[in-house]
Every structure is written in structure tokens, then in C-alpha cells.
Structure 1
Amino acid sequence: MRRVRSLPWWVPGCLSVALVLALFETLSRTGILPSRYFPPMSSTLARLVTEGGDTSFWVEVGHTMQGWVIGIGLAFAVAVPLGIAIGSAWWIFRALRPIIEFLRPVPSVALIPLAVLIYGSGLETKVFLVTYAAVWPLLLQLLYGVRSIDPIALDTARSFRVSRWNRLTRIVLPSIVPYLATGLRISSSVALVLAVTAELVVGAPGIGRTITAAQAGGNVELMYALIIATGLLGWGLNIVFRQAERRLLHWHPSQRMLAASR
């Protein structure tokens, strides 16, 4: 037990990934999984490395990230003021809660026909779907954050006649930053899923469209390589947001507890 605990935190995860890759390789090589549909992982990874040196691959990654960045930016611009406004006034929260509860469960994929009808099959459709999907985690986290602010702190500020702007910048915003960081991290993953989905279904430029083309052409190795690339992209984004959250919120108790657990 002491040896396991003394291992770096990343070692168990790397070992589990290596075991899965080795199992997939063995099943494909032995014929338990048909290599026509499940090529050996070694050849798939080799194809991924080859694609990494191809400029056209990075062009498609750029198309995917373009929709992701614009969608996340729009979701942030919509969710932050709405979350603060709705969470700060109980009557606004009660009035809009039925609308939020109605729209939130609607899957973004169900809006694809509407988006295609309005915007066609280009970047605009992808941005629309990404924005719609990404705005909800942000909005809900901000609502929780604003509603969890200590009312005594706000009442004290009002009793000292602190202006609304100062209450917003010195009490509300610092209190909701951890919730905002969590919402952004969740939204980033959701946004990437919807960006690739739009490319798969609608045919918008990006990795998803390339995956569809590889599948249609029977290029199974390329298809799996691109799927792995998509997973690595999402994993990388999650790491970036976690590291940013850890550095910006090093003062927060949750981050101190996380650091202590390691």
C-alpha cells in the first residue's frame, strides 16, 4: 500500500491506458476482433502520427477549434450577465425558472434541422449549436454561485451604502469565480462534442467531417486515428482549464484540499 501511495498521481492512469491499448492490440492481432473493423492499435497510432505531420489535418483541427472558440465566447457573453442578473433578483429567478427548466433539457442535436434551415451547413450552424450547448453549464453554475453568496455580506454592504458597482466587483464577482471556472471547464467539453457532432451530421468543415469521409471511403485506420485525435484534443482542453483553475484559484479551499490529497 505504501508503494502504491508513493507513486506519482499520473502513473495509475497511464498504466490503465497502456493496458487498454495492449488489450485492443491483442484482440485485433489474434482475430477475436475482426481487423477489418478494428485494426491493430499500433497501426492506428502510426497513422495518427502520420496525420500529425500533415498540414491538412491541422487545417481541419483549426476549423473545429474556430467553432469551439466562437461558441464558448458567445456562451460566456450570454451566460455571465444573465446568471448574475437572474441570480441577484429572486423575482427574476422565479419568473424565468420555468423557461430555463423547459429549454435546458432540449438536446442541442435536436436543433440541428432548425440551425441548418436558418444558417445552412457552414460555420454559423456549428457556432449556434456550440453556443446553445455551452451556455447551460455556465448559466447554472453562475446561478448557484450567486444564490450561494452570504446574504449577511450583501446586507452589510448595503447598510454601509456601498454602491451596486462596488458590491458587484468586490463581493459578487469574487464569490462566483470558482463557479465560473467550473462552468467553463464543463462547457469546454460539451462545446467540443457539439462542434464535432455538427461536423459529422451537417458536414461543416472540421475533424468530424474528415471522420465521416474516412468512414465512407472505408479507411478504418484513419477513422480511428481521427477519433483518437478528437479525444486527445478534448483531454488537452480539460487539462488546460484545470491548470488555469488551479493557478487562478489557488486561494480557494477546494484547490488547497485537492493539492493536499496528492
Structure 2
Amino acid sequence: MLFRRPFDSALFCGFLGVTGLLLLAEAAGRLGLVSTVQFPLASTVLVAAAGLAADPEFLLDVGATFAAWAMGLALTVAVAVPAGLLLGSVPAVERALRPVIEFLRPIPSVALIPLAAFVFTERLDMKIAMIMYASTWPILINTMYGLREVDPLAKETLRTFGFGRLAVLLRVSLPSTAPFIATGVRVAATIALILAISTELLAGGSDGIGAFIILAGSSPDGLTLTVAATVWAGLLGIATNGAFVWAERRIFHWHPGTAR
């Protein structure tokens, strides 16, 4: 179909859902079903959120959070992808490290923030370390899983022509695994943002969205500013995920498993 009906659009349906939720929240506050002392009106929160978009201090905090997010995610990719390729290509190494991975992976990342506060004196180093710990798993597991999906016939064909293990990995396995790695990076990007803000909230510091939320709690309009900053954190998460989905669709449009 050249033209899709509006109600077939996921974006349009999502817009309707969010609008409906905001209208219900506004009506609940106006009708007294929810106390505005405990939770501000949706319209008040939206006005405050719009004001934060022009607040230089808040924008600096957003920049600080995203700087830690970008550095942490980049380092995670640099470590987790080669590690996943190694574990997925060498069964002996994977069997040796599997117990360690299965022990570390279920540990809640947020629970390690107090421990990280004792280990790292610099707050930026602590945020990066927590981002790397939490974001490693989706990239590592997806890379290992992707290697298992590589066409064995393609690998055998290259070996028949005399290519070694490394050449097969670089020419066949890595390109075939790339869409799985991209999906892992997309999931890790959202996790990295969550850990960056959570670390700022729980470990303190002078900059970042989490630090802004803590300081906003002590202001006269603390509740409204706190919710407004939280709304921006959610919007930034949606924008980040959307950017990665868009990149996946453009780069790996040929792959059947690419997000649609």
C-alpha cells in the first residue's frame, strides 16, 4: 500500500495513547481523585518540563549525563564485542567462563552502586564503570548468540579455499553477527542511560540529571520539577532508542531480524 491509514501507524497510535493518559491524569487531579499535593497536575508538569528545555543549568546536567553515557557505552562496545566473539568462537573459553558470567549477570547493577562509591573517588569514573557493568551483558550475549546463527556452509566454503580461522571470523562470522550486535548495543544504550541517572541519584555528585532531581527536591516547586526532570529522562530514553532503531533499519535493512 502506498498510503497507510493513520490508525495503522505505530507513531500515531502511540501519540493517542500518551495523550489519553495525560488527559486522564489531568482529569483525576481536577476532579480531586488524586491529590495535587502528592502529585501535580499533568498540565503543570508539562509547563515545567517545557521551562527546563530553556534552563541552562538543566541543559548542562543533561550534557553531563550524556557525556558519561556516551563514554561508558563506547567502552562497553570496545570490550564486550571482542569478548563475545572470543567466547562464541572458542568453545573451551566459553565453557571455562560460563560459570563466572552466570554468576555476575543476575546481580542487580543498582545494588552495586554503594560498593562502587567506595572504589571510585571520581563520580565520572564510577558512572562509566556502572554503565559498563550493566551494558556488557546484552552486547556479550547477543554477540555469542549471533555467532551461533552464522551459516556453517559459508564458513566451510572459505575453509575449503584455504582461509584460516581469523579470516573466516572477519569475512563471514562478523558480518553475519553484526545485526545481532547492533540489537545488543541498542538495548545496552537504554540500560546505560538508566545506570547513568541511577548512579547520579544514589551516589550524589554535582552534575547530571540525577543530581538535578536531588537538588530540585529541596526547592519550593520541588515535586513539580522532580517529575518534570523525570519526564525529560524518559523522553531522552525514547529518543535514544528511536535513533538506534532508525540506524538499524537503515544499515541492516537486508536482515530479516532487523527491528521494524
Calculate the TM-score normalised by the size of structure 2.
Answer: 0.93
Structure 2 counterpart of 1:162, which letter?
F
Q: Who is 1:246 aligned against?
A: 249
Q: Is the 8 A contact 2:6 2:12 kept in 1?
A: no
| Mapping 1:166-185, distance limit 5 Å | 166-185=167-186
| Unaligned 5+ runs, structure 1 | none
Secondary structure of the residue aligned to 1:216 is coil
Shift in Å at residue 121 of structure 1?
Answer: 5.6
Is residue 228 of structure 1 aligned with residue 222 of structure 2? Answer: no
The percent identity for this pair of structures is 41
Q: Is the 8 A contact 1:138 1:180 kept in 2?
A: yes
Q: Who is 1:214 aligned against?
A: 216
Q: Is the 8 A contact 2:190 2:237 kept in 1?
A: yes
Structure 2 counterpart of 1:168, which letter?
L
Deviations 1:53-112 (A, max 9, x none): 111111000111011011101110110110001100111111111111111111111221
Aligned counterparts of 2:96 and 2:153: Cα–Cα separation in 1 = 25
**Alignment: residue pair count:** 255
Moved over 6 A (4+): none
Structure 2 counterpart of 1:45, which letter?
L
Shift in Å at residue 166 of structure 1?
Answer: 2.7
Cα 1:50–1:6 change in 2 (3 A) is: closer
Q: Who is 1:124 aligned against?
A: 125
Shift in Å at residue 175 of structure 1?
Answer: 0.8
| Unaligned 5+ runs, structure 2 | none
Shift in Å at residue 21 of structure 1?
Answer: 0.2
| Mapping 1:1-262, distance limit 5 Å | 7-120=8-121, 122-204=123-205, 205-217=207-219, 219-255=222-258, 258=260
Structure 2 counterpart of 1:14, which letter?
F
| Cα RMSD, aligned residues only | 1.7
Deviations 1:151-200 (A, max 9, x none): 23222221211134431221011111111111011001111110010010
Structure 1 counterpart of 2:65, which letter?
T
Shift in Å at residue 51 of structure 1?
Answer: 1.0
Structure 1 counterpart of 2:156, which letter?
D
Aligned counterparts of 2:141 and 2:232: Cα–Cα separation in 1 = 30
Q: Is the 8 A contact 1:121 1:203 kept in 2?
A: no
Aligned counterparts of 1:5 and 1:32: Cα–Cα separation in 2 = 33
Structure 2 counterpart of 1:214, which letter?
A
Structure 1 counterpart of 2:225, which letter?
L
Q: Is the 8 A contact 1:200 1:212 kept in 2?
A: yes
Secondary structure of the residue aligned to 1:66 is helix
Deviations 1:224-247 (A, max 9, x none): 100000000000001000000000
Cα 1:198–1:6 change in 2 (3 A) is: closer
Structure 2 counterpart of 1:236, which letter?
A
Structure 1 counterpart of 2:49, which letter?
L
| More displaced 10-residue stretch of structure 1: 7-16 or 83-92 | 7-16
Shift in Å at residue 5 of structure 1?
Answer: 7.4
